[in-house]
Amino acid sequence: MAGGITDTGDDGASPGVNGESLFDRDHRNRIFGALELMSRVIFAVIMRESRTRYGHSDLGYAWAIIDPLIEMAILLLIFTSFGRTSGIDASLPVFLVTGIMPYYFWKNCMSRAASAASANAALLTYPQVKVADIIIGRTILEAVTSTVVYFFFVIGLLMVMGEPLTSWFDDPLQMVLALLMTGYFGLSSAFFNAGLTRVLPAWGNIWSYLSRPLWFLSGVFYTLEALPHGARGFMVYIPMAHMIEWLRSASLPGFESSHYSPVYLFCVSTIVLFIGLVIDRVMTVIGQNTYDA
Amino acid sequence: MIELRNIEKSYPTKSGRRVILDDINGTFERGHSYGILGLNGAGKSTLLRIISGAEQPTLGDIRKDVSISWPLGFTGSFNGSLSGIENLRFVCRIYDADIDEVTDFVTEFAELGAAIDEPVRTYSTGMRSRLAFGLSMAINFQVYVIDESLAVGDYTFQDKCHREFEARREQADILLTSHAIETIKVYCDRAGVLHKGRFTMFDSVDEAAEFYERVNS
């Protein structure tokens, strides 16, 4: 791989005379070099964050798994005591996990990935570390953690309740697409939130109020189909609901929703990402390079 | 070589924009160690952060074809809950340095002993600085950037730092800021003066010292 990159550089270098060709090669190598550097920094951030966020003890990181596990247990208890079922052709635990896990991922991107940027502002002293690297690294860590927790549930429910593995997998292509989009949405949200926190110090408080009802408005506990018409008309604007409906349609064999739009989710993600990046750029240029200003 | 062209740095404050650096020009050639003289608050640290790449200038260009260290002894990036080794690994990863080699060097150089595996929050200020200093020496930069002083740890450690610098004078240059002429004279053969946001470069430390004393008297 590395050899290939060098060759490309040399090809670009051969036609010109010394000075220019060197620049050409420099220029090409710079793009690969920048990508290589960025992935190195992101990897370093992931390794560092996995240590600091969850602490040193094994239980520290286990909290990332225990936390949604407890939440699930409580919800399951409540729903079953009300005699509730999933309302679709899927068992209640499978239905809840496929709603809670993507929501958790998204919520953690919004809160933790964004705050990681301000918590690690001192790292920006190293010129190769950019705000974006910290946010991307943190989002990847959240994605990995969520995936681990998800498989924890899949295996756990198989062992405890005999939930067959086939209840989790429907259309592989759609699943891959929906998961990629979920990751993109999470990353965009992290950039958006980190940006807003930077320009609006009060945003943190506003967000903590907003995020509570969102938990109920994102379709974690029910499908959009099950809602009365008026409520559904409102909820189709909430991108998280699209994310969850899509993921469920892709992974649950007995469920197909017609109320989500991948295009809408993509557009919202792209817009919030754009806002986040613009804020980052503007703040860097006007001199508030760090977060303490 | 490091070349600064029309560098301006200003920050928004409650009473409007405050200009820290105003149209800074200067060339720092390889093979020379430079001092930047200035009173406290003259913008030395800001200029140093811009040169090392930690901060972007508001306006202007900076060109460099050398590897430049972070400000020496910088401990702010250490995470207190991580051990010395873990903090060190992060820096190795972003600089693509060999973790084992750097670990060996720093353990020996910083004289931390078994403490290197302890969380950095348990370190004394001196231990932190020694770790930071050892780390910057473990990675081979062409220009070492020093903010204010080399005063790290006790005299024996300072002595060690001096010797380490002397040993690499052939390959590495120093860029040192200080408000004290004496400090600059020890390490540098050229110097510039930062005064009221403007920067003037001189071919010798003596000329710079003379100018520095004149504008600040």
Query: Domain coordinates of chain A in residue numbers?
Result: 1-56, 70-286
- Burial environment of residue A156 by CB neighbours within 10 A (0 to 12, 13 to 18, 19 or more): middle
Quote the minimal CA–CA distance from B81 to chain A in Å: 7
Read off the pLDDT band of B41 (50, 70, 90).
Answer: confident
- Could you say which of B11, B76, B79 has the minimum Cβ distance to residue A125? B76
Mind listing the pLDDT tens digit for each residue in B68-125?
A: 998 887 888 898 888 999 999 999 999 989 999 999 999 988 888 899 999 999 999 8
Specify whether the CB–CB gap between B7 and B23 falls below 8 A.
Answer: yes
Residue A219 reports pLDDT greater than 90: no
| pLDDT at site B149 | 67
Helix (H, G, I), strand (E, B) or coil at A16: coil
* Dihedral sign of CA atoms B62, B67, B72, B77 in order: positive
* Domain edges within chain B: 2-69+172-215, 78-140
pLDDT mean across residues, chain A: 80
Classify strands B198-202 and B190-195 as parallel, antiparallel or unpaired: antiparallel
Rg, Å, chain A Cα set: 22
Cβ A287–B79 below 8 Å, yes or no? Answer: no
B175 DSSP β-pair partners: B34, B145
Place of tokens 């220009």: B143
| pLDDT at site A185 | 96
Residues 55-74 of A with CB under 8 A from B: 55-56
Helix (H, G, I), strand (E, B) or coil at B88: helix
Closest CA to A126 of B14, B74, B107, B131: B74
* A237 at B interface, C-beta within 8 A: no
Cβ B93–A126 below 8 Å, yes or no? Answer: no
Cα gap A262→A184, rounded to integer Å: 12
Q: What mean pLDDT comes out for the span B162-174?
A: 83
- Residue from B7, B10, B67, B93 whose CB has the most chain A CBs within 10 Å, to mutate: B93
Angle at B212 between CA B211 and CA B215, to 5 degrees: 80
Residue A2 reports pLDDT greater than 50: no
Mind listing the pLDDT tens digit for each residue in A105-162?
A: 999 888 887 788 888 888 988 888 988 999 999 999 989 988 888 888 888 889 888 8
Mind listing the pLDDT tens digit for each residue in A30-43?
A: 788 888 889 999 99
- Could you say which of B77, B79, B93 has the minimum Cβ distance to residue A125? B77
- Contact residues on chain B for A47, CB-CB shorter than 8 A: 89-90, 93
| pLDDT at site A15 | 35
| pLDDT at site A277 | 93
Q: What mean pLDDT comes out for the span A45-63?
A: 73
Q: What mean pLDDT comes out for the span B186-196?
A: 90
Cβ A126–B54 below 8 Å, yes or no? Answer: yes
Find the closest chain A residue to B58 by CA distance.
A285
Please indicate whether residue B16 or residue A276 has the higher confidence score (pLDDT). A276
B13 DSSP β-pair partners: B16
Please indicate whether residue B155 or residue B25 has the higher confidence score (pLDDT). B25
Mind listing the pLDDT tens digit for each residue in A278-293?
A: 998 888 777 654 444 3
Cα gap B84→B139, rounded to integer Å: 16
Which residues of B have a CB under 8 Å from any CB of A? Answer: 9-12, 49, 52-56, 58, 68, 70-71, 74, 76-77, 79, 81-82, 86, 89-91, 93-96, 119
| Count of beta carbons in the 10 Å neighbourhood of residue B61 | 10
* Dihedral sign of CA atoms B130, B135, B137, B143 in order: negative
Find the closest chain A residue to B19 by CA distance.
A287
- Given the cut 0.90, state whether the ipTM is greater than it: no
Cβ B74–A44 below 8 Å, yes or no? Answer: no
Mind listing the pLDDT tens digit for each residue in B8-23?
A: 998 878 888 888 899 9
Cβ B9–A287 below 8 Å, yes or no? Answer: yes
Cβ B56–A285 below 8 Å, yes or no? Answer: yes
pLDDT mean across residues, chain B: 88
- Contact residues on chain A for B10, CB-CB shorter than 8 A: 287
Read off the pLDDT band of A11 (50, 70, 90).
Answer: very low
Cβ A44–B94 below 8 Å, yes or no? Answer: yes
CATH code of the domain occupying B2-69+172-215: 3.40.50.300
Quote the minimal CA–CA distance from A146 to chain B in Å: 24
Read off the pLDDT band of A215 (50, 70, 90).
Answer: confident
Cα gap A239→A241, rounded to integer Å: 5
Q: What mean pLDDT comes out for the span A93-101?
A: 87
Q: List CB contacts of B75: < 8 A, sequence separation 6 or more.
A: B128, B129, B131, B132
Cα gap A179→A174, rounded to integer Å: 8
| pLDDT at site B89 | 94
Mind listing the pLDDT tens digit for each residue in A55-86?
A: 555 566 677 778 777 877 787 778 778 777 77
Determine the distance from the C-alpha atom of residue B141 to the mean position of all C-alpha atoms in its chain, rounded to a whole number.
Answer: 11
Please indicate whether residue A194 or residue A51 has the higher confidence score (pLDDT). A194
Q: What mean pLDDT comes out for the span B20-33?
A: 90
Find the closest chain B residue to A289 by CA distance.
B55
- Burial environment of residue A236 by CB neighbours within 10 A (0 to 12, 13 to 18, 19 or more): middle
- The stretches of A109-202 forming alpha helices (DSSP H) are 114-119, 131-161, 172-199
